[in-house]
Structures are given as structure tokens and as C-alpha cells.
A and B are shown apart, each in its own frame.
Chain A
Amino acid sequence: MQMTRGMRLREAKQYVADKLRVTPFDLSDPVVMTDVRNEHGFGRVHSYAISQPWQANQIEAKFNIARVLDVPINSVEKFKERTAPG
């Protein structure tokens, strides 16, 4: 939200928190955010010891982030263009 939308921190945190239905305080809490990231398919810290291969990750996660946060992500749009039929 900062990098491409140019939002200041407080605004960016509130925007993301509202979209995820959490509080800005929650955004920095790994205990809360692990569940939130799992729920929305945002990807998580990768560890083979706790592998969850059914979870979205990498470009898959970015598709979900773009959709849930309603923010255009260039690599997602390019992926769609390059995999579109015809």
C-alpha cells in the first residue's frame, strides 16, 4: 500500500486491517496473522518441519492478496495475461 499506492503508514495499516477485519495492532502479531494469512491464502513463513503444501504460496499468494486487498499487483496481472487463452 505504501510502495505503489503511496499511502502513509497509519493509513496503510488501517486500510489493510479493515480489509482483513482485524485491528492495526494485530498486523504485527504473528499469533494473529498466521491464522489470518492461512485463512486468506496469503502465504506464510516457510518451514519444511511444518509443511502445509495445500496452502497458497508465492505467486498464488499474490493473487489472493490482490483480490482481498483490492490492489492491483503487476505480476498478478502479467500472469493472467500470459496464461489467458488465445
Chain B
Amino acid sequence: MTSEPRVPTRMGDGTFTHLTRSEIRADLVAGSENATKRAKVPLLSDDEIDHLLEIYASPLRFIGVDVGEEIVLSCDGTGMKTHATRIQDLQSYEQWMGADLLELCVGDYSLKVVRTILAYEAQYMHDAQLATIAPLQYGVMTNLGLYSKPDGPCDNWNELLPLGKTAEARAAEEEAIEMAVVDMVKLADSQWEAGADALDWDTTGASGDPEFLAALRATKIIREKYPDMGVELGMAGEFVLGMHGELEWGGKRLAGLWPKDQLLLAQEAGATMFGPVVNINTGKSLAWNMARAIALIKPCMDVATIPVHPNAGMGVGGVPMFVHLPSDAVCRAAKSFVELLHVDGL
């Protein structure tokens, strides 16, 4: 039974718990060790652990970065129709909520869905650009799964794989990749003509390595076609699932890549911003999760030639898996990313 005082802190699912300073430190070390074990990245140093400890053992409700160390906020989903029209939502984010970058999108945020309403979305982007000041991009999730049956024309690889039909599954994935790339380029064509500043491929890799490949290929085409158009490549998970297993980009197998290698390929494809993701373990404390996230993303910072904006949102980047994000958790994650990794934004 310890006499060490306990501080309120949260678990990965957002629930409060009370841990001693020693317990928090142990969790930080364990999170770092888990990252090393999974991804073969270096352990966090004692200084880095101690720095995180000061953040996560603090009883403050809100904690911030030092004056002068502010970063850029690239906020996705800001024009999705939350409380007003989509343009009014964008204006609210720009004017009242400090968004440095805005994103127009639809509620069903998927590429295949948007493909059928390109003209409407282009019109909306055109109008939104006249009514806002901050840079405004158009965002979609590549969501390759929607190209498979019953939602799309390709055979469903998720059904074929459990049946051992690997060749058929791979063929279906490759067919979906071709369709998605065409759609991504068509989206870029219409949005560039409408006046968009950039595109965002959100949750890239949610369907595994085929989806990552589609995003890389489309990015390269678009950046060559429109050199002044930005392309933000934001990931879905901390490593690329091998749903195909044999897809490559520039001779590098995509399945199993962790953030640093994901970034290198994104840079090679011409992406102008990269958003690594580290998934939350809801059964572990936020301290554990944050140490793990820092350790996994840290290698990116040594090789980045483009801005790195780690995803810090629901269930990723040290932020709880809960729909209404507690500000005490979000600010700790932000401070950790800024002070330990010197990220370019969030």
C-alpha cells in the first residue's frame, strides 16, 4: 500500500483513473518498450520519459505549449455540416476555433461516394473559396473497400481471403486500385478547377496496402499535373496492413510499413504534408499510449522534408477513443508532440 499521492489521469477509452507518479512513469517506460518491440524503433531516453512524466503527472485540467512554440492546426472535417451550412461551418472554424487549414467534405466521407457528386462538390468549393481566408482543401477517405461487392463492382477480397482464394482476392484488390486512382485524379481535376488549395487523402491504408498504393500513385499523378496543388496524406493506422502482401512502390513492399517508411514513400510520391497515426490501446493509460506514439513517430522527424502533422484525434495520437474528446487529454497529447518531436502541426 503506497502513500504516494495519486493524480487523476485517463485510460485510452477516456475513463478517469488515479495513478501514482511512479505508476505513470512505469507506464511511460512500458509504452516505449512496446513500440520498440513492435516496430524496432529506439527506446525513449530517460530525459524523454521524464519530460512526458511532467506532462502526464500534472494535475492541471489544461496544459499548453510555451509561448512562441505554437504550431499549425490542420483540421479535417471542418466543413461537414455540423451546426450550420458547410460554408458557415468553415467560417466558424476559421474565425472562432483557430483552424489554420480548413477542409470541405461530405458526411459520407468516402472517395467512391464523392465520385458521383463531383460537380456539386466543385460548386461548393468554388463558393467556399470566395467566403473564407484560410487555406481550404477537399478531403476524402480513399476507403477502397467500397469498390468491392456489394457496394462496388470488384469481388470482395475480405470474403475471398478467408476462403483461401488469395489469387482472386489480389486480383480484385488490383482492380479496385485502378478504379480508385482514376477517381482520385478526377476529383483533383474538378477541385483544382473549382479553386481548391489541396486535397486530403484521409485514413489512407484503412483497407491495407492496396489503398496505400492507390494513394501514392494518385498523389504522384496529381502533383505532376498540378504542381501548385497540395496533397496531404493522412494514414489510418500505425502500420500498413498486408491485405495483398505483394504490392510495392519503388521496390519497397508496402505491407508492414511503420510511420517512418510510410513518410519516405509519401515524400517520394510528392505529398506536401504527411499525417502519421498511432492507434490507441483503450486498455492502457494515456501515458502508456503517448510514450508509444512518440517512440513510433520520432523516427519520422529525422527524415522529414515535408511537414509532419501527427493525427491527434479520436482513438489516435494519444487521444482517447471517445466521441467527445476531453480537453485535458488532447492538450497533453499536443504538448507532448510539440515538445518532444517538434512536429510541424497537428
Given A4-B229, A43-B133, the answer on whether A75 and B195 have CB atoms closer than 8 Å is yes
CA distance A61 to B133 in the complex (A): 6
Chain B residue numbers with a CB within 8 Å of A12 are 72, 307, 344
CA distance A3 to B129 in the complex (A): 15
B198 at interface, CB cutoff 8 A: yes
> What does the 1/0 interface line of A22-43 toward B look like (CB < 8 Å)?
0011011000000000000011
Chain A residue numbers with a CB within 8 Å of B306 are 6, 8
Q: How big is the A interface, by class?
A: 20 to 34
- A27-86 contacts to B, CB under 8 A, are 27-28, 42-43, 45-46, 57-59, 61-62, 65, 72-75, 78-79
Given A3-B230, A45-B95, the answer on whether A74 and B195 have CB atoms closer than 8 Å is yes
Given A9-B344, A43-B133, the answer on whether A4 and B230 have CB atoms closer than 8 Å is yes
Chain B residue numbers with a CB within 8 Å of A4 are 135, 197-198, 228-230, 272
Chain B residue numbers with a CB within 8 Å of A78 are 126, 129, 193-195
CA distance A75 to B131 in the complex (A): 11
Given A28-B68, A74-B197, the answer on whether A5 and B133 have CB atoms closer than 8 Å is no
Instruction: Give the Cβ gap from A25 to chain B, nearest Cβ, in Å.
Output: 5
Instruction: Give the Cβ gap from B101 to chain A, nearest Cβ, in Å.
Output: 6
- B92-131 contacts to A, CB under 8 A, are 95-96, 101, 126, 129-131
Instruction: Give the Cβ gap from A5 to chain B, nearest Cβ, in Å.
Output: 7
CA distance A58 to B101 in the complex (A): 14
Q: Is A59's CB under 8 angstroms from B129's CB?
A: yes
Chain A residue numbers with a CB within 8 Å of B135 are 3-4
Q: Is B273's CB under 8 angstroms from A2's CB?
A: yes
Instruction: Give the Cβ gap from B287 to chain A, nearest Cβ, in Å.
Output: 26
Chain A residue numbers with a CB within 8 Å of B71 are 9
Q: Is B228's CB under 8 angstroms from A74's CB?
A: yes
Given A42-B133, A62-B133, A75-B129, the answer on whether A3 and B195 have CB atoms closer than 8 Å is no
> What does the 1/0 interface line of B216-241 toward A look like (CB < 8 Å)?
00000000000011101000000000
> What does the 1/0 interface line of B68-105 toward A look like (CB < 8 Å)?
10111010000000000000000100011000010000
Instruction: Count B-side interface residues using an 8 Å CB cutoff.
Output: 40
Instruction: Give the Cβ gap from B219 to chain A, nearest Cβ, in Å.
Output: 12
Chain B residue numbers with a CB within 8 Å of A24 are 68
Q: Is B307's CB under 8 angstroms from A9's CB?
A: yes
CA distance A57 to B94 in the complex (A): 12
Instruction: Give the Cβ gap from B200 to chain A, nearest Cβ, in Å.
Output: 10
Q: What is the chain A residue whose CB lies nearest that of B304?
A: A8
B32 at interface, CB cutoff 8 A: no
Chain A residue numbers with a CB within 8 Å of B130 are 58-59, 75, 79
B345 at interface, CB cutoff 8 A: yes
CA distance A11 to B230 in the complex (A): 17
CA distance A58 to B192 in the complex (A): 19
Cβ-neighbour of B133 out of A6, A28, A57, A74 (below 8 A): A57
Q: Is B133's CB under 8 angstroms from A3's CB?
A: no
CA distance A78 to B95 in the complex (A): 24
Among A57, A59, A72, A75, the most chain B Cβ lie within 10 Å of the Cβ of A75
Chain A residue numbers with a CB within 8 Å of B95 are 45-46
Q: What is the chain B residue whose CB lies nearest that of A23?
A: B68
Name 24 A/B residue pairs within 8 A (Cβ), A-sorted: A2-B344, A2-B345, A3-B101, A4-B197, A4-B272, A6-B306, A8-B304, A8-B344, A9-B72, A9-B342, A12-B307, A24-B68, A25-B67, A28-B70, A42-B133, A46-B95, A59-B130, A65-B133, A74-B195, A74-B196, A74-B229, A75-B129, A75-B130, A78-B194
